[in-house]
Amino acid sequence: MTTLTRRGWRGDKRTEPEEDAAADRELPDDDSDNSKAPRLTLMEEVLLLGLQDKEGYPSFWNDCLSPGLRGGILIELALRGRIHLEPLTARKKRLLDRKVLLKSAAPTGDVLLDETLRHIKASESTETVQTWIELLTGETWNPFKLQYQLRNVRERVAKGLVEKGILTTGKQSFLLFDMTTHPVCDTTEKQRLLRKLQDSVLERWMGDPRRMDRRLLALLVLAHASDVLEKALGSLEDTQYEMAMSRAKDVLEADAELEAAQGRGTEVIWAVLAAFSRA
């Protein structure tokens, strides 16, 4: 108990840079059985779940992956202590009405995260989680807001996975065009990720979203939002699959407003889920 209560103690409150550094250190994929595995961002995990291993690209029919990756950026920034939602007020009680506020502009070291931070900082008006997902995806009719679009997100996330030795780079020729592909070369890491997500609703299931690890909760929400959840659970046996989907459904259909109010540090996660549920 003494060790836990004194961790990070400096005789007074930690400064913002110290809090940001602490948040960045709390990124672990908390797999105690594989501590040497590369640390992945939520965006990298979601893309890896969506890729077809040998082909190196996601399904052409999946039009949810791009906005899902943008939702992952916002959640990742929240978990790293860079953004948060404005406090509850009498007029703004709903998650989707509350604006995203910049808590710290300290660089994260990730290009996409830092570019998004600059957009949020430079924005003349505060926006909601749903609006930021739309702006970052480029789904806006306001020409003055197009500057906030994040371009080539999928390719940039894939590049990060290539640098970490999980994907490789190739080229696929189609009838009218050639496309850069990123086949999975580290299947061990892909299987570890699948196992982590599957275990979150099987072996590690606690029956209560508030007791879930925040990053596992976020991964479950983003896998659903990006339309890759069923694919990720598809390798399970029928009985396990039905149980896993039922438990995932319990989380994804929970009252986001109530869960956000009572789950520590999960407001942006639930706001992202609410945004995709409303879409």
Out of 58-62, 68-72, 232-236, least confident range? 58-62
User: How would residue 139 be classed by pLDDT, with cut points 50, 70 and 90?
Assistant: confident
Q: What is the pLDDT of residue 37?
A: 64
Q: What is the pLDDT of residue 177?
A: 72
Assigned token pair, 2: 């003494």
pLDDT mean over 3-7 = 32
pLDDT mean over 82-86 = 96
Out of 15-19, 177-181, 273-277, least confident range? 15-19
Q: What is the pLDDT of residue 38?
A: 75
pLDDT mean over 75-89 = 94
Q: What is the pLDDT of residue 21?
A: 53
Q: What is the pLDDT of residue 279?
A: 63
Give per-residue pLDDT as tens, 161-181: 999 999 999 988 776 778 889
Domain ranges, ordered by start, for the chain: 42-168+178-185+255-277
C-alpha pair distances (Å), 273 with each of 7, 73, 93, 276: 33, 13, 16, 5
Task: Inform me whether the pLDDT recorded for 195 exceeds 50.
Answer: yes
Give per-residue pLDDT as tens, 49-69: 999 999 999 988 899 999 999
pLDDT mean over 63-82 = 97
Task: Inform me whether the pLDDT recorded for 11 exceeds 50.
Answer: no
User: How would residue 25 be classed by pLDDT, with cut points 50, 70 and 90?
Assistant: low
Q: What is the pLDDT of residue 92?
A: 72
Q: What is the pLDDT of residue 49?
A: 97
Q: Residues 42-168+178-185+255-277: name the CATH superfamily.
A: yeast vps74-n-term truncation variant domain like (1.10.3630.10)
